[in-house]
Amino acid sequence: MCRWMGYRGEPIVPRTLLYEPERSLIAQSVRHGPDLLEPNGDGTGLGWYSRRETPAIFHSDSPAWGDENFRELADEIYSPMFLAHVRAGTGTPVQKTNCHPFRYQKWLFVHNGYIDSFDLLRRDLLMAVRPDLFSNIKGSTDSEVMFHLALTFGLADGETLFAARYASGPVVNTLYMSESVDAIRMLYPEHERLRRIPADARAVLSEPLSELPGVWREIPPSTALVVTDTPHQRPFRPQPPG
C-alpha cells in the first residue's frame, strides 16, 4: 500500500517531517511492513502551497529514497501546507502521470488503497466524471479517477485540509493526526526535534512518524477529519448520486 502525509501550520521546510523522524515517510518507503512484499518504490510526489493559490507539484517515477531532486526540494521549500506521497503500484504503470499528489486548480489529492475490480469498473467510473474535468486526468490509476469523481460530486465545496477513512480495511490504511504540539512537548520535554515544530502544526498521515506514546491518534473507519485551526471529525458516509 502507498504511504502519505499532509502538513498544515506555520511554514516549515518539508525535510523536517519527510526525512528527519526515525520513521519518516522516506524511511517508511524503504522499511515496509512485514506483511508487505515490496517497498514503496513506484514513484513519489510532493505538492505544496506557497506564493499563489494554486499549489506547485513535483512528481518522480524513481523510488523516494534515492531521488536527489526530491531531497533538494524538501530542503529548499518553505511552506505552510503540503502533501507528500510514496507509491506502491497496484497494477498500473510506474510513470510520473500515475504519481500522487493529483492537482486540480487549488486542490491536491493523495490516496492509500485501491478500488477492487477497477478494470471492470473503470469505463463506468470515467463516464461519471464531469465533462469539464475529464481532460485533467493524465494517468491510469484508480486514485486519479477517484479524485475527479470527488470533484464532480462536491469536493471543491469543502475545507482546507481534509482526510477521510472509508470502511475498515487493513491497518496500513489507518489515518492518524498529531495531538497539539504544546501537549506533546509537555509529555517529552527532552525531545529536541519537537522544539523545531511550530506550536500550531498538524500532521495527518498513513503511519506514525515515531513510536512516542500519546503523539498519534487513530481516525476511526467511516470518518472525515477536517484540519483547520481546531481540527474536528465528522461521519463520512458517501451516498450514491441522485
What would the pLDDT profile of 96-142 be if each residue is shown by its tens digit? 999 999 999 999 999 988 888 999 999 999 999 999 999 999 999 99
Using CA atoms, how far residue 206 sits from 23, 69, 74, 115, 195, in Å, is 12, 24, 19, 18, 23
> What's the confidence (pLDDT) of residue 31?
73
Q: Is the pLDDT of residue 215 over 90?
A: no
What pTM value is reported for the model? 0.89
CB 26 within 8 A of CB 66: no
Catalytic residue among 1, 2, 177, 227: 2
Region 210-237 average pLDDT: 82
Q: Is the pLDDT of residue 80 over 90?
A: yes
pLDDT-derived band at 192, boundaries 50, 70, 90: confident
Asked if 99 is an active-site residue, the reply is no
Where do the domains of the chain lie, and which CATH numbers do they carry?
3-235 (3.60.20.10)
Which helix (H) or strand (E) element contains residue 18?
helix 15-18
